[in-house]
Chain A
Amino acid sequence: MDDKQIVDLYWARSERAIEETEHKFGSYCRTVSYNILANTADAEECVNDTWLKAWNSMPTHRPSLLAPYLGKLTRWLSLTRLRENNSLRRGGGELPLILDELAETLDSGEDTEQELEVRELNRELRRLVEALGKDEKDVFLSRYWYMASVKEIAEKTGFSESKVKTMLHRTRKKLLSQLKEEGLC
């Protein structure tokens, strides 16, 4: 079923919207969540919560592409679940490694209370990603949005693992430089 037909079902408060969403996006959202949580039961709950969020947001939203819309909801819910348990750094899968990589570049060792920085950081991240070439962009988002392992990224892109690591390192450096320029780091 077309994404827009599914959105229509949400708008008409049809339960079938959930069924069609599960049918079309269930495995995808489970992958997004599992890559963060590395726990099947927790990922299942986050995916269920994603459907509830989707149900409550349509109407009034009308996303044109459901995959990124639902993926963002799932990713946010999964990260929030870890943060609320104060276990971001004890999270499953690649997450502790990913945080270490980012910390090497960004962290000064002090906690920040600037939750409002999320919006500013997002603006800079979008600017950074926009300026990347396609390969760099895919590798960066694979690692830090989809939380894929370096090995998986290498397999899917056809690059060697060392090349993937080099690309990620360069992009992180660009990010650091950009954030310093903007006084965000």
Chain B
Amino acid sequence: MLKSELLLFALNDMDDSDLESTRKRLGYKIGGAAGHLAKKRIITFALAAALILGLGTAAYALGWFGFSSRLAPAPAPSADLELSPEFGDPSDHHYLSYSGAMGSNTMKASLEWQDYYKAWWESEEAQNHTNQDDLAFIAAHPEWKSYYDIYSACTEDMMEKLFALSEQYGVRLHDSATTPENDAQFHQLAGIGPFILREEGEFEFQCYIVYEDGSFHGFGFLPFGEEGYPFTFVRSRKNVLDPTVQELYGSEQYEEWQYTTATGALVNIASWDWSHPENGKSLTWVFYENEDTMITVFGTTPLGQESCEAFADSFDFVEAGK
């Protein structure tokens, strides 16, 4: 390549904040614009990738309460999907609710919202929906701005559906979300003290959303050896519709067991040596619940049961569940 061509490639990795600043000045907007995209093709990519990751993993499922109780069967997606048989069964597709176990009203509401939301995405209305439509919706209903931000509800019909689900299942909707500016504000909004049981400076944690009832989502890094492993920590009250319903493939790939943490909390651990076995990593979930709160933690850990349990021991679930 000529130097000028090389320069175009070398320019690619510029500072994120500079690129963001320039993007804004150019008026290249993000958010809300659903274009005419071949969504089925994308979903096919995603599903194929998920299934490929599951290949070759020896696995079994115990079906204890815990992981299994948090999963609900989801419809087989991507009707146009064509997979080689060795990719496995694409029907191993589940929803996971942060705020309710199988059969609970919160989970029912979550699943119905999820189905509705996905159907909307497949609709012609979604294909024609633009950023301007979002802006018009918010301008007409400023009182629904928080629902737009939290649930991505961008039409009057979507809002009606949210309200109907709330009434039918007796679940609340989150109506306020705050990004804490610092740890002190996070602890104040969430109403809990420190809950990560590692030495100060040994870990990182950043809460990025606290809802009006103290439910929160955050992420951080925990050290195993010299490497920091990323994790996500979600606390959700049980009577509320959490906007983030997870979809999972390969639930049968997980090993699951119960464990009492160093601080005496009974948790369920589910782990899958999935992500990059050649790098010695697993994807690990830890579940805890009490009367009114569910906690879900997931992240990568080194391979092996001991590492998964050390991961669980890194958190004071009783404090976080207050």
Contacts and interface: CB of A to CB of B under 8 A. Distances in A.
Contacts of A138: 21-22, 25
B37 interface: yes
B216 to A, nearest CB: 12
A27 B246 contact: no
A99 B4 contact: yes
Interface stretch (B27-35, B58-66, B138-146, B314-322): B27-35
A87 to B, nearest CB: 11
A152 B26 contact: yes
A138 B8 CA distance: 16
Interface string B166-180: 000000000000010
Contacts of A5: 208-209, 217, 243-244
B55 interface: no
A59 B275 contact: yes
A24 B9 CA distance: 25
B155 interface: no
Contact of A8 (B23, B38, B47, B219): B219
Chain B contact patch, size range: 35 or more
Contact of B14 (A25, A103, A108, A129): A129
Interface in A87-113: 88-89, 98-99, 102-103, 105-108, 110-112
Interface in B1-30: 1-16, 18-23, 25-30
Interface in A121-160: 121-122, 125-126, 129-130, 134, 137-138, 141-142, 144-146, 148, 152-153, 156-157
Given A2-B209, A71-B19, A146-B22, 10 more contacts: A15-B77, A18-B42, A26-B37, A30-B35, A51-B45, A55-B49, A138-B21, A145-B14, A145-B19, A146-B23
Interface of B: 1-16, 18-23, 25-35, 37-39, 41-43, 45-47, 49-50, 53, 77, 96, 118, 121, 131, 152, 179, 208-209, 217, 219, 230, 232, 243-250, 275-276, 281, 283, 298-300
28 contacts: A4-B208, A13-B248, A15-B46, A16-B247, A23-B34, A24-B30, A26-B33, A27-B30, A28-B29, A28-B33, A68-B20, A75-B12, A88-B1, A88-B5, A103-B4, A106-B3, A107-B4, A117-B10, A118-B9, A121-B6, A121-B7, A125-B7, A126-B15, A129-B15, A129-B18, A130-B15, A145-B19, A157-B25
Interface of A: 1-2, 4-5, 7-9, 11-20, 22-28, 30-32, 44, 47-48, 51-52, 55-56, 59-60, 62, 64-65, 67-69, 71-72, 75-76, 79, 83, 88-89, 98-99, 102-103, 105-108, 110-112, 114-115, 117-119, 121-122, 125-126, 129-130, 134, 137-138, 141-142, 144-146, 148, 152-153, 156-157, 185
